[in-house]
């Protein structure tokens, strides 16, 4: 299920848009990939959110580092840390991914996207255009824009 922030003509005229800040070099995984793949991606690329897509690049879910840690803590407390690699190699991303994902369009005003992230305490919003994942906007994108604003 995807909750999409609808943009109308009035909100489109409210200044800078998501397209100006979003990351378009996407690192994605599939729902049948393992948590080992997810862990490797988090570790190698130093990211905190991974969109989960199907073969047509349609968004089917989202996994955050927090989702991964929550799963890990609950499972590893019972089975022990030594069995983590085996657990991660056997568990599919579909078991922990969020399926109810709020999304935005490239034309969504930054003020609207930022307000939604604050209100719902989201660390990112996938960006959808014509039903395809085309980008992601994160808290870091907003911070980087703010810091470089004076430059």
Tokens representing residue 59 in the block? 């968004």
Q: How far apart are CA 46 and CA 12, in angstroms?
A: 33
What pLDDT, on the 0 to 100 scale, is given for residue 9? Answer: 47
CATH number of the domain encompassing residue 40: 3.10.580.10
Each residue's pLDDT, cut to its tens digit, for the chain (151 residues) gives 556 566 544 445 568 999 999 999 999 999 999 999 999 999 999 999 999 999 998 999 999 999 999 999 888 878 777 788 899 999 999 999 999 999 999 999 999 999 999 999 999 999 999 999 999 999 999 988 878 766 5
Quick one: pLDDT at residue 3?
60
Q: Which domain holds residue 70?
A: 2-148
Residue 88: its H or E element: helix 84-90
Domain count, the chain: 1
**Which of 132, 63, 142 is closest to 109 using CA atoms?**
142
pLDDT of residue 48: 96
CA distance 121 to 128: 20
Residue that is written with structure tokens 């499972």 in the block: 75
């Amino acid at each position: 299920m995807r909750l999409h922030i609808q943009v109308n003509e009035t909100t489109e005229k409210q200044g800078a848009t998501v397209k100006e800040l979003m990351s378009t070099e996407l690192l994605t995984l599939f729902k049948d990939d393992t948590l080992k793949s997810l862990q490797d991606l988090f570790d190698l690329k130093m990211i905190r959110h991974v969109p989960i897509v199907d073969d047509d690049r349609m968004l089917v879910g989202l996994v955050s580092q927090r989702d991964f840690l929550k799963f890990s803590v609950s499972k590893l407390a019972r089975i022990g840390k030594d069995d983590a690699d085996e657990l991660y190699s056997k568990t599919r991303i579909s078991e922990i991914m969020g399926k109810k994902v709020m999304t935005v369009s490239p034309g969504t005003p930054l003020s609207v996207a930022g307000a939604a992230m604050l209100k719902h305490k989201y660390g990112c919003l996938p960006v959808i255009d014509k039903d395809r994942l085309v980008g992601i906007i994160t808290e870091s994108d907003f911070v980087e824009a703010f810091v470089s604003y004076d430059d």
